[in-house]
Amino acid sequence: MGVTCVAQVPVAEGKSVQQTVELLTRKLELLGAEKQGTFCVDCETYHTAASTISSQGQTGKLMYVMHNSEYPLSCFGLFENGPCLIADANFDILMVKLKGFFQNAKANKIESRGTRYQYCDFLVKVGTVTMGPSARGISVEVEYCPCVVANDCWNLLMEFMQSFMGNHTPGIPSVFGTKHDSTYSPGDTMVQYMELFNKIRKQQQVPVAGIR
Amino acid sequence: MEAPPVTMMPITGGTINMMEYLLQGSILDQSLESLLHRLRGLCDNMEPETFLDHEMVFLLKGQQASPFVLRARRAMDKSGMPWHLRYLGQPEIGDKNRHALVRNCVDIATSDNLTDFLVEMGFRVDHEFMAKGHVFRKGIMKIMVYKIFRILMPGNTESTEPLSLSYLVELNVVAPAGQDIVSDDMRNFAEQLKPLVHLEKIDPKRLM
């Protein structure tokens, strides 16, 4: 996969989540981007069961299991500041077998769903981030497909993002810092989504009046 | 009628309960060539395939009496292959007529940071070994003839010594649950390998 930047776009003043998403997608369509289906990235949280903690003497840890519609046969396992495992879809079945040791915090399941746009060599995904029934924010994923070395194309990515995100263009993602010249991988995109989802979870819920 | 190859089975609801059917036996080193010769004749025509794998067995201890066991295996002789993570359940207590050992199995291909990830989850290495040998196929059956090597220093896969003067012979099939006809086909195949090797259903519990 090409170098990807995942960012959060704040909801526009006086507008709902849906309206802000429409503003962004309209800007993309005016630029000439073509709709190319939909996407979904989801994240489930597991915590170490109390029984394992007491016998191992370790503190409870949070493990995230994520899926990305761009890689339908894969499953990603992540720990915050820890390794990101890329596995095939059977990893979900293994988590069911590990029920006694890792509990699924079902209420914490968070996902981003939206439309996929292609603009020349860029792939842009604008998604509504939802937790349960409520929309909590907006995610924008921009991928520059031809390049696999993060630091080589950051400037280009930033310039492209400014053309439709304006002031909401993010700074360089923290995963890029550790990459140096190594190849960008889908695991890096999932780490960015995990950080975004964690940030959104901590944020105040969008006031009900804004969700229409 | 043989069960269709596993890859043609429909995936229902995203989960398939796969079972591993297993028969095991062993032969002394000096009988290896004659067994390989017979297998070459009986099995599917393909380039002779050898393998050298490094397997680590991880345990996760909880309050439950028995720890959770996961097996992480990687190919040492082929580059670019994913790591293979395997969960094996308890053997099914079926009727005595069932010819093979049947247990639930989950096979997962993963990226190379598997061991770091398992340790982060709380798993610890219980033991590791190398397996070197030959693999054959007949339809959905996989036949392996391999030698187990003890790793003398943890983490050093270069210095190993054979565990015994014999080769382990395994006949296994991974198929969806409820395909008992598979064990009949396995028994029939095992008959053809007698008297070179006697493949039997060996319950791991009875060895402990």
Task: Give the tens place of pLDDT for each residue, B2-51.
Answer: 334 444 444 443 356 899 999 999 999 999 999 999 999 999 888 889 99
Buried b (16+ CB within 10 A) or exposed e, A24-51: bbeebeeeebeeeeebebbbbbbbbbee
Cβ atoms within 10 Å of A188's Cβ, excluding its own: 21
> Chain A: which residues have CB within 8 Å of chain B?
48-49, 51-52, 54-56, 58, 61, 63, 77, 79, 82-94, 96-98, 100-102, 187
User: For the domain that residue B80 is a member of, what is the CATH number?
Assistant: 2.40.320.10
**Tokens in use for B146?**
């391999």
| pLDDT recorded at residue B113 | 94
> Could you list the residue range(s) of the whole structural domain that residue B128 is in?
18-196
| Residue of B121, B123, B124, B174 to mutate when probing chain A, most A C-beta within 10 A | B121
Minimal Cα distance from A81: which residue of B? B120
- Within 8 A of A87 by CB-CB distance, chain B residues are 85, 108-111
| pLDDT recorded at residue A167 | 87
CB contact under 8 A, B87 and A97: yes
The verdict on residue B207 lying in a domain is no
| pTM for this model (two decimals) | 0.87
Name the nearest CA neighbour of A191 among A64, A48, A74: A64
pLDDT, one tens digit for every residue, chain A (212 residues): 899 999 999 988 888 889 999 999 999 999 999 999 999 999 999 988 765 555 555 567 899 999 999 999 999 999 988 899 999 999 999 999 998 889 998 888 999 999 999 999 999 999 999 998 999 999 999 999 999 998 888 999 999 999 888 888 888 888 888 877 889 999 999 999 999 999 998 886 655 444 44
The verdict on residue B184 lying in a domain is yes
CB contact under 8 A, B121 and A63: yes
What is B141-167 written as a DSSP string?
EEEEEEEEEEEEETTEEEEEEESSSEE
**Tokens in use for B50?**
């050898």
Residues 6+ apart with CB under 8 A from A114: A21, A38, A39, A125, A126, A127, A128, A139
| pLDDT recorded at residue B65 | 75
Q: Which residues of chain B have pLDDT under 50?
A: 1-14
Q: Number of structural domains, chain B?
A: 1
**Tokens in use for B81?**
């292959």
The verdict on residue B36 lying in a domain is yes
The verdict on residue B96 lying in a domain is yes
CB contact under 8 A, B108 and A49: no
The verdict on residue B11 lying in a domain is no
The verdict on residue B10 lying in a domain is no
- Within 8 A of A54 by CB-CB distance, chain B residues are 63
CB contact under 8 A, A85 and B113: yes
The verdict on residue B72 lying in a domain is yes
The verdict on residue B104 lying in a domain is yes
Minimal Cα distance from B111: which residue of A? A86
